[in-house]
Amino acid sequence: MKLGIIDIGSNTIKAYLYDTSDEALTPVCRVSFYAMLSSHVTDGAIDSEGLSVLAESCIKCRDFLLENGAEEIRAYATEALRSASNSSDAVRLVKEETGIIPDILTREQEAECDALSLMHFSGKTEGIGMDIGGGSGQIFEYKDGRAGRSISAPIGALAMKNRFVSSDIPAIEELGEIDSYVRGFLEEFVSITAPEIDVMGGSASSVAGILADEDGRISLEELNVFIVSVIGRSDAFEYISSFASGRETTLIPGLEVIRVCGVFFRASSVRIFFSGSREGYIIKNGYFGK
């Protein structure tokens, strides 16, 4: 079956078309729109402009999937809609404009989807995984082929930029504030160490081409050097734009979240995967293998 998935995130809204009979579960095609929904929140609600962006992006995603042969389309949303006080209005608008009713995943459901995805693509039965999105970040343990303890916290790249960064590119002191904030959510894992952290999400995948080896690994030392070197550049915004257009202001906050988690777990490296909660959502809902 050709299954279309619309992934409504805090930073981007994406459409992926999968052939779910393919054991590799790789997308046939995809498209992405930088909706930045978390930047359209006023007093806890997505404002009218944000709702318009949401509807327009979902229409484009639906049309893209149908044009490419989708036989069924499912949509799900994460932190941006999950935390919005008018999430029911957002869901109703998407349904009216596209005919699709998005699932709003709980934090626990999102972490479970992430873990299912990593177990499938890493081929490992145990490890520590992370998915750093725009609004939230999921950190989870998987062991013996099952998802274990997990947290889902408001530590996404866009959330960290909005909360702590006063300019386009964070200062060293602002990175320190991000570090302290993120560590406050990690006590659940205080007794766990891992030599390597498996990482998903846009911040990580954006630097894979320039930092990762052929297996997708980046040493924590190299990641730290990269972060420091970028924020020290006078042309940092333009430099990031050259390889991660659309993430100019969120890339470094997202990478800093990854770095501090790696340090917390005493890992020497992170390994980047280009999968995400989408594939876990397909597996969890029984679409895989059809």
Digit-coded pLDDT (tens) for 214-267: 999 999 999 999 999 999 999 999 999 999 998 999 999 999 999 999 999 999
User: Does pLDDT of 150 surpass 90?
Assistant: no
Name the percent of the chain lying above pLDDT 90.
72
| 145 pLDDT tier (thresholds 50, 70, 90) | low
The per-residue pLDDT for 279 is 93
User: Does pLDDT of 210 surpass 70?
Assistant: yes
Mean pLDDT of the chain: 93
The per-residue pLDDT for 157 is 94
The per-residue pLDDT for 262 is 97
Section 156-170 average pLDDT: 95
The per-residue pLDDT for 289 is 65
CB environment 76-95: b (16+ within 10 A), e (fewer): bbbbbbbbbebbeebbebbe
Q: What is the dihedral of CA 103, 122, 157, 185, to 10 degrees?
A: 90
The model scores a pTM over 0.85:
no
User: Does pLDDT of 191 surpass 90?
Assistant: no
Q: What domains sit in the chain, N to C, each tagged with a CATH number?
A: 2-104 (3.30.420.40), 107-272 (3.30.420.150)
For residue range 63-74, list pLDDT tens digits in order.
999 999 999 999
User: Does pLDDT of 280 surpass 70?
Assistant: yes
For residue range 4-37, list pLDDT tens digits in order.
999 999 888 999 999 988 777 889 999 999 888 9
The per-residue pLDDT for 107 is 84
Phi, psi of 84 (to 5 degrees): -80, 135
Cβ atoms of 273 and 121 within 8 Å: the answer is: yes
Cβ atoms of 269 and 219 within 8 Å: the answer is: yes
The per-residue pLDDT for 100 is 97
Contacts of 245 (CB under 8 A, 6+ apart): none
**How far is the C-alpha of 58 from the C-alpha of 204, rounded, in Å?**
24
Going by the DSSP 8-state scheme, the letter that residue 1 receives in this structure is -
Q: Please give the residue that has the higher pLDDT: either 143 or 91.
A: 91
For residue range 48-57, list pLDDT tens digits in order.
999 999 999 9
- H or E element at residue 243: none
For residue range 73-112, list pLDDT tens digits in order.
999 999 889 999 999 999 999 999 999 999 999 988 888 8
User: Does pLDDT of 131 surpass 80?
Assistant: yes
